[in-house]
A and B are shown apart, each in its own frame.
Chain A
Amino acid sequence: MKAWLARPWFGPLVALVVVYLLFVWLSPDTFARSVNLSTMARQTVVVAIAAVGMTYVIIHGGIDLSVGSAVALTTVVIARVLERGSGPLVAVLAGVAVASLAGAINGLLVARLRITPFIVTLGTMGALRGAAKGLADEQKVDADPSGLDQLMSALSPSSPWLLPAGVWIALAVAGLAALALGYTVFGRHVVAIGSNVRTAELCGVPVARVTILVYALAGALAGLAGVMEFSTLTVGDPTDSIGLELAVIAAVVIGGGSLAGGQGSIAGAMVGAVLMTVIRTGCTHVGVPNWVQEILTGAIIVAAVGLERLRRRR
């Protein structure tokens, strides 16, 4: 029992349950319906997948501000490839490859030129956004989604899968990433570098290589999130996901991630991502105006993280 309580994601999980129950109480007829639960699961997928990558980056002691732009670029790449008549698999691979490459460039700049991640990714955030707009001729790119839209479509009630494929993919990615973080040399090295980079160096950890890999992984996952985003939008949208990186960072931080590095958990980030969807959907159901919703979201993020810090100080 105690071990559970000590988990970094326990506090946010309690916050999630409290907020969820609050909305169920406020909007009992609509909020708790199973259709709504599956809708919320679908709407969490993009942030959740990107948050898996961000968790690695933040535990490693860095930050990746280019996620939103990478997602937008991926939707455009996919639309462009589909437009030329290629199959959906080719389009997905192309999108993820471009995003991974962008991530690897982030990692190279951080590891080799020793520029702080904040500045590197602030730069690539702008550059990738520009590339997306250029590739899309500054407008939305229409293409036949060739079945990719099915990843995130609502299922027919008779389907045995309960939730759309995108949700299952996100869960699988999160599970694999959590295992890799805890049980592979790479994962342990990421934690060690974030915890104390000097110790890691002393112990012969290949710091530069791990750094490049971490950012490339974050890029690849941003690409996968972009696939899901395309599946939702069914168009390539170069102005999509502006500010997504902040939601993703918030999810990781709510889930116990520390911007100082060394701390964070995939499970926590997933809880954080779900919490934000619950707040957003709940506000829609209760009929709260946008400006109140924004204040509420900000307050709940700070409160969730603040409570967690207080809990651990004791």
Chain B
Amino acid sequence: METRRTFCAALTALAAGAWLPGCRDKAAPGPGGGAGRLRIAVIPKGTTHEFWKSVHAGAVKASRELDVDIVWKGPLKEDDLKSQIDLVQSFTAQRVSGIVLAPLNDKALVASVNGATRAQIPVVVFDSGLSGGEVVSFVATDNRAAGRLAGGRMVKLLEGKGRIVVLRYQEGSASTREREDGFLEAVKKGGLQVVSDNQYGGATTQTAFAASESVLLARGADKGEIDGVFCPNESTTFGMLLALEKAKLAGKLRFIGFDASDKLVAAVRSGDIDSLVLQDPFKMGHLAVKTLVDKLRGQAVEARIDTGASLADKGNLDAPEIAALLKPDLAPWLGK
């Protein structure tokens, strides 16, 4: 008797769980609107890297200024594409007011993003672009402009004369390709000679190191036949730095890298790296959320928003605006 009752209770609960909410759908509040507080999901590519912590802090700042709620939720495993797709779908099903997303892949996220848009949940993409997909705005560093910035610096360093090597990142990576192209455009305009721009560093520091060693050797860097080097992201910059140090060439030729880490900043300080292009993740998080809220509140927004890039070198490392990018103070926003 007792067992039967338990069982029936469980069955009833199951049925109630499955069906009651179905009816509730119609009563659910309309997306993005009305009286309720806005609730915005922010989905980064990962949650543990410093870069994403800065984005988080910027998003928190925007939410306080604009009086909205944000839900910060990244893939459980760093860079896990499937888990990011699941998150977009879950937030869509949950009917958040809007989604701010840094897509891990420019194609794989398109379907889920369109699903959200169809459900009248606006999406702002930041950091990396999406090929196609109906989004409100794309908030990111203008990579081509950042590349041009680096190129201009290289021209200045070499005073318009010299041989340049570009170690590309990876085939099919859109953001780094634009940086490389922007750089090449600027150095060519400045009269520098590009001796190699078809080598790829690959996904890891390890592969970048191997590629750097071979391109340096092939282009006669040890004989002084290379005057400047550019790398379009953190892993290629670090791999190149290691290769230069190993070949005892560090500091002997002009070297501009992209993004920062403690090791790279130390190399700038010691003169092994001349300049680093820095992005502004805090601004990215802030502007992405702000753009979405503006859209939700009926204001017009730009389809493309540049968060800018800065050059760090030995001279300005400790200047407040650069230090804020290198070691941002996140405590007021993240509370730690």
Contacts and interface: CB of A to CB of B under 8 A. Distances in A.
Contacts of B4: 1
Interface stretch (A134-142, A254-262, A300-308): A134-142
Interface in B25-39: 25, 28-29
Nearest to A14: B10
B25 A233 contact: no
Nearest to B13: A17
Nearest to A139: B172
A212 to B, nearest CB: 30
B87 interface: yes
Contact of B10 (A17, A29, A239): A17
Interface stretch (B15-23, B147-155, B185-193, B246-254): B15-23
Nearest to A288: B73
* Residue in B86, B93, B110, B171 whose Cβ sees the most chain A Cβ within 10 Å: B93
A235 B3 contact: no
Interface stretch (A117-125, A177-185, A240-248): A240-248
B85 A233 contact: yes
Contacts of A21: 13, 17
B21 A32 contact: yes
Contacts of A284: 71, 73, 87, 90-91, 94
Given A32-B21, A34-B21, A242 B81 contact: no
Interface in A221-249: 229, 232-235, 237, 239-243
A239 to B, nearest CB: 7
Contacts, number: 134
Interface of A: 1-2, 4-5, 13-14, 17, 20-21, 24, 27, 29-40, 42-43, 46, 137-140, 142, 149, 153-154, 229, 232-235, 237, 239-243, 280-281, 284-285, 287, 289-290, 293-294
Contacts of B91: 284
A140 B25 contact: no
Interface in B64-110: 71-74, 76-77, 79-82, 85-87, 89-95, 105, 107-108, 110
B110 to A, nearest CB: 8
Contact of B202 (A30, A35, A37, A138): A138
A162 B295 CA distance: 33
B47 interface: yes
A154 B17 contact: no
Given A20-B17, A139-B170, A240 B81 contact: yes
Interface in B195-253: 202-203
B73 to A, nearest CB: 6
B93 A36 contact: yes
A152 B110 CA distance: 14
Interface residues of B, number: 48
B89 A43 contact: yes
B95 A290 contact: no
Nearest to A232: B85
Given A20-B17, A138-B202, A234-B108, 14 more contacts: A24-B17, A27-B94, A32-B20, A32-B24, A43-B86, A142-B107, A153-B115, A154-B89, A233-B105, A233-B108, A240-B81, A280-B86, A284-B73, A287-B73
B324 interface: no
Contact of A233 (B81, B115, B171, B172): B81
Nearest to A18: B13
B87 to A, nearest CB: 6
B331 interface: no
A290 B164 CA distance: 44
A293 B92 CA distance: 20
10 contacts: A1-B3, A32-B20, A35-B95, A36-B94, A138-B202, A237-B82, A287-B71, A287-B73, A290-B73, A290-B74
Contact of A39 (B3, B79, B92): B92
B111 A30 contact: no
Contacts of A142: 107, 172
Given A32-B24, A33-B95, A42 B89 contact: yes
